[in-house]
Structure formats: structure tokens, C-alpha cells
Amino acid sequence: MALGALIGAYQEDDQGGLRALLPLAGRTLIEYQVRCASAAGAAPIVVVVERVPQALQDAFERLRLDGVGMFAVSDVGEAVSRFEAGSMILLIGDGVAPPAELVAAIADEPEPAVATVADDEVHAMFERIDAESRWAGVALVDAHMLGSTAAMLGDWDLQSTLLRRTIQEGALRMSASSGGGDPLLAESAEDLQNFQRKLLVGSRGSRPDWVSRYLLPPIEEFATEHLMETGIRPIWLMWSAVALTIGGAACFTRGWLGAGLVLLLASMPLDLIASRLASLRLRPLPVRLISRLALWPLAGAALLTLGWWEMRHNSGWGSLVSALAAGAFAEAARLERPASDDSDLWLISRRSAIVLAIPFAIGGAWTSYLIALLVYAALSFFIVQHVRHQPSS
């Protein structure tokens, strides 16, 4: 069954501006709501507005540039006409910041459903349903109910009237806490600060090696908080990491070993930051993204160019053999590695291989680095083999 979304963007905050334009995660609340609906599979997404100030128009334009389809309408009849007959409509309240998991849970329901929160002091701002519960700001209604509500609306508020009629028809009630967490009804920018912090924390992905776990988090946090407010796209950061890795390999072919290492060091956090930005914008990067998949083999190519340079200018063929063997052991360890656990942190990875070069580069002992990397990669491979073929208890 087709799924659409209807979002309100006309109520004012406590400063006289639109709630929909309150800042959240470097964008606006309305952009977050639309992205939540899009991530849940809703299309079309219709935003009901009374006026479109420039800031709201800019928000809509950013969504369209990111490929998120939505329509702004000021007439209820036009809103109804955007949806197919028989479709289900995801309703998100004006000024509500719901967890994306809650939106997805409601959207997956086969019949009309209403997310609820407890009728207590914490949720006093939410619209009351009965003596025990209030509306959490997310619901699933059918297009027929929207059409009939619009026909008899008059001066009543669309969302409230539609909610009431949906509940009267016996819609399923789902506790927000069981569906993905409590939403927030915001009336000021300060109201969204804690919610934004939760989004930042929730955007942290897996940190599969000791470098990303212990060395890079401060850089990752700082860059994510500042870049989320810009128009930089995550895919640009991924390709930047690719370009820096290629640049490092090119520097090694010219004998600029220090410069090559600096470029490789600069590439290390970019894929982590890109993943977090994509998560914050509710458009996760594909697992099989070409630029992500290219980082490992390109790092191997950089290693080989370093071995080739050392072979020609310093220590002979042993350097190239060490580089080849280190790359082979590292690839074998990667292919044989079981499901990630904490013990994997200390095994060889692209980042750990780069960081290992720092003390050797300071002393100018690049051939010694290649030998040390070979030992590290070989140990990682044998540890993986031991773990993988160890009899299970």
C-alpha cells in the first residue's frame, strides 16, 4: 500500500517565528521531519504552510537538492489531492521532533495507528487524548479519513481534527517508548538542544580498530559538529579520503615520504565523519559504496609504492618483498576475520598501519617500518586463524 506523509509547518514558536524553522543538527526542524518521513518510505511528502518565508524556502530547496521530494501547500484541498486514493498517510505534528525509529515503527503498521505518551508533567505540552495519554505527534491515517476531514473542516485545526476522528474510528494506540523513544515538542531553540545531543551521540558508528576507538574520536566529534551546519555532502568527504590516499601513494613514488604519510594521516577520519553526517541527515551511506570500498586497496597500493621506493633507493629488493607480504597477510586477515568483537580492535587495519608509520618516519627508518608492518600483519592473520578455527564451547 502506498505511503505518503503530511507535516504541519504553520505554528509559531515563543519568539514569533515558525516552529518548523527551529535549528536542529545544523539544519531546521522541518528538514529533520521530512527526512524522517522519507527514511520511512513516505512519498509524496506534503508540508502544510500558511506562509513561506525565505528561510523556509531555503530549507525546502536544500531538501530538493538532496533528492528528497516534497510539496508545500497552503490549501487543505490541495494537500488531499496529492495523495492516492486508498493510501496511508504518515502524520507528523507541527513542532514535533520524533525519533526516526518511532516514525519508522508507525509507518510499518498495516492499519491506522497513533503514537502516545503518558499524560504527565513531562509531556504537558502534548495534545491530550484522554485522561491517561497524549498524542506523541506521530500517527498513521488513511487517505479517505483525510479527505472526509478536509471536507468538514471549517475553521478547525486539520491535524487535531484528523487525530480525533482517527482515534474515534478505533486506531491502534502505540506507546512512543516502545516504538523508538519519546519525541520532543519544541517551542524554542533551547528545547531542541538535548535532542540534538542525542542525535549526535546516536550518529556514532562502529569503531572497528584501536585508532578509531582511542585516537580519532575528538577529531571526529569536532568535525561532525561543525560540518553538519554546512552544505558539505558526506560523499564529498568519502572521495576526499580516496583522493588523499592516491595523493599519498603518488608522493611515495616521488620520494616525498613524509608528505605522503601526512596525506594518509589526513584521510583517516574522513570516512567516519562522512558516515556520521549521513546518519544525521537520515540518509546512511550504502555499505557497498565505491569510494568506501576503494580505500583499502588504495592503501595497499600506497604501501607497495613505498616498498618500491625503498627497494630502488635504500635497502634493495627486501623492502618490496616486505611490502608485498605485509599487504598479503593484511588482506588475508581481513577476509578471514570473523564477526567483529573487541579483540579485533588490535588487529591490523588501514588506520593502524598508517599510524604505525609515525615513529619510524620520525627516525627515517622506512625499511624498518615495512618489516614491522609485516610482523604486525602476520600476527593479525595468525590470531584471526586461531580464533576462527578454535573449537566452540
Of 296 and 207, the one with more pLDDT: 296
Over residues 248-252, the mean pLDDT reads 98
Could you please report the per-residue DSSP string of 150-205? HHT-TTS-HHHHHHHHHHHTT-EEEEHHHHT---EE-SSGGGGHHHHHHHHHHT--
pLDDT in tens, 174-201: 999 887 788 999 988 898 999 999 999 9
Residue 393 has pLDDT above 50, yes or no: no
Over residues 140-159, the mean pLDDT reads 83
Cell numbers of 16, please?
514569533
Q: What is the pLDDT of residue 336?
A: 86
Over residues 303-323, the mean pLDDT reads 95
Q: What is the DSSP letter of 59?
A: H
Residue 212: other Cβ atoms inside 10 A: 21
Over residues 237-245, the mean pLDDT reads 98
Is residue 96 classed exposed, middle or buried when 0-12, 13-18 and 19+ CB atoms within 10 A define those classes? buried
> Among 207-211, 303-307, 372-376, where is mean pLDDT lowest?
207-211
Instruction: Give the mean pLDDT of the chain.
Output: 92
| Distance (Å, whole) CA 283 – CA 36 | 10
pLDDT in tens, 10-50: 988 888 889 999 999 889 999 999 999 999 999 999 999 98
In the chain, the domains with their CATH numbers are 3-195 (3.90.550.10), 205-389 (1.20.120.1760)
| Distance (Å, whole) CA 271 – CA 296 | 12
| Distance (Å, whole) CA 166 – CA 160 | 10
Residue 342 has pLDDT above 60, yes or no: no
284 close to 104: Cβ distance less than 8 angstroms: no
Q: Model pTM?
A: 0.88
Q: What is the pLDDT of residue 14?
A: 80
Residue 335 has pLDDT above 70, yes or no: yes
Q: What is the pLDDT of residue 389?
A: 67
The crossing angle, in degrees rounded to 10, of helices 270-280 and 217-227 is 40
Q: What is the pLDDT of residue 181?
A: 82
> Among 152-166, 201-215, 249-263, where is mean pLDDT lowest?
152-166
Q: What is the pLDDT of residue 152?
A: 80
Over residues 373-379, the mean pLDDT reads 97
